[in-house]
Amino acid sequence: MPANTSQKTLALGFFYAALAAALWSLITPFSRELFSLGTSPLETAFWRSLLGGLCFVGYSLFTGCLKVPLKEGMQMLVLGGLLGALMFGAFQVSIEMSGGATAVVLLYTAPAWVAVLSRLLFHEGISRTKLWAIVIALAGVVLVSLAGGSKSGVFSLGGIVCGLASGLGYAAYFPFTFYFVQRHKAQTIYSYAFLGSALVLLPFVLPLDMGKGAEIWGLLAFMSIATNFLAYIFLALSLKCISQVQSAVVGNIEPVLGTFWVWLFFGENFTAIGWVGCALIMGAVLLLTLEKGVKNSS
C-alpha cells in the first residue's frame, strides 16, 4: 500500500473490509434457518461451495482467466477442494451441534493455527508473543467448551472438534491462496477450489434432494452469492486500498456480528464463562494481528 494513500482511499478500504466481514457473519443465521427447514449441515456446505464456485466460474469466464495449465488446475481443484470441504463442512456441523456463536468463535482460532502451521511447514520461529497468543487462545477454547456451547448449554465434543477443524481449514487456506495467487487471479483460484470442495462433499450428500421448496433454494442461493462470492470480491477490493493487517483487524467484526445475529434471531447465548472464553480467543487473534502489523511496519 503506498505511503501517500489518501484518506478517501483508506476509508473506502475499511468500508470494503467491513462489508466483507458483515457478509461472512450472515453464514451463521442463514445456516441455522436452513437447518430448521430440513437442510443438513453437509448439504448446506455442498450447495454453498457449488453455487459460490459457479459464480466465480462465470466471473472468471467474463474476465478471461479461467484457463490454467492442467497440472496447476488439478492442484487447485484437489488441494483447494480438500481444504474448503474441511472448512465449510466442519463449520456447518459445528453450528448444528454447538451453536452458531460457538462455531464462529472457534473458527477464529485460525490465526493461532497459522502460527503453528508456519512453524511446522516453513520452520518459522514462534516468538514470545505468538506463544502467549496460542496459550491464551487454547485457554479460551477450554472455557468455551466448559460453557457447553451457545446453542443448548450441553457440552458437545463433536461440535468443539469440528469448530477447531474449521479453524484449521481456514488457516491452511492462507498458504494455499498465497502460493497460487503469485501466478493466478483470485477468482481463478476460487473457481477451482470451491468446485473442488463441492466434489469432495458430494458423496456425503447423495442422493441429492432437488425437490426443495422455493424458500430453501432462495436461502441457499443468497447465502452462496453473499458469503462466498461477494464477500471475497469485497475483500479483494479492500486489499487494493489498505494493508492485509488493517483488513484483518476490521475482519474481527465477523464473529461479533455472527454471534449477535444468532442471539437476535435464535436466542443463542453464552454463559459468563463462555463469554470470558470468547474474549480470550478474540484477544489472542488481536495480539497476533498487532504483532504482524508491527513487523510489517518496521
In one-letter notation, the amino acid at residue 71 is K
Q: What is the mean pLDDT of the segment spanning 194-213?
A: 93
Q: Are 137 and 109 in contact (CB under 8 A)?
A: yes
Bigger pLDDT: 247 or 229?
Answer: 229
Q: How far apart are CA 154 and CA 133, in angstroms?
A: 27
Instruction: Give the integer Cα–Cα distance in Å for 143 and 109.
Output: 14
- Percent of the chain's residues with pLDDT above 90: 37
Q: What integer is the mean pLDDT of 57-75? A: 93
pLDDT score recorded for residue 46: 96
Q: Is the pLDDT of residue 296 over 60?
A: no
Q: Does residue 64 have a pLDDT over 60?
A: yes
Average pLDDT of 68-72? 92
List the grid coordinates of 265.
434471531
Query: pLDDT for 215-231, tens place per residue?
Result: 999 999 999 999 989 98
pTM here? 0.82
Q: Is 195 in contact with 81 (CB distance < 8 Å)? A: yes
**Residue 7 burial class via C-beta count within 10 angstroms: exposed 0-12, middle 13-18, buried 19 and up:** exposed
Q: What is the pLDDT of residue 140?
A: 81
CA 281, 286, 287, 292 torsion: positive or negative? positive
Please tell me the predicted confidence (pLDDT) of residue 175.
Answer: 75
The tens digit of pLDDT for each residue in 138-157 reads 888 777 776 666 666 666 78
State the Cα–Cα distance between residues 277 and 136, nearest whole angstrom: 9
Cα 289 from Cα 245, distance rounded (Å): 6
> Max Cα separation, the chain?
57
Cis peptide before 203 (omega within 30 of 0): no
Contact 244, 104 (CB under 8 A): no
* Residue 61 binned pLDDT confidence (cut-offs 50, 70, 90): very high
* Nearest to 109, CA basis, from 163, 40, 30, 146: 163
46-54 average pLDDT score: 95
Q: Mark 245-260 as b/e (b = at least 16 C-beta within 10 Å).
A: bbbbbbbebbbebbbb
When pLDDT is cut at 50, 70 and 90, the band that residue 178 belongs to is confident
Instruction: Please give the mean pLDDT across all residues of the chain.
Output: 83
Instruction: Using pLDDT thresholds of 50, 70 and 90, give the confidence band for residue 239.
Output: confident
pLDDT at residue 286 tops 80? no
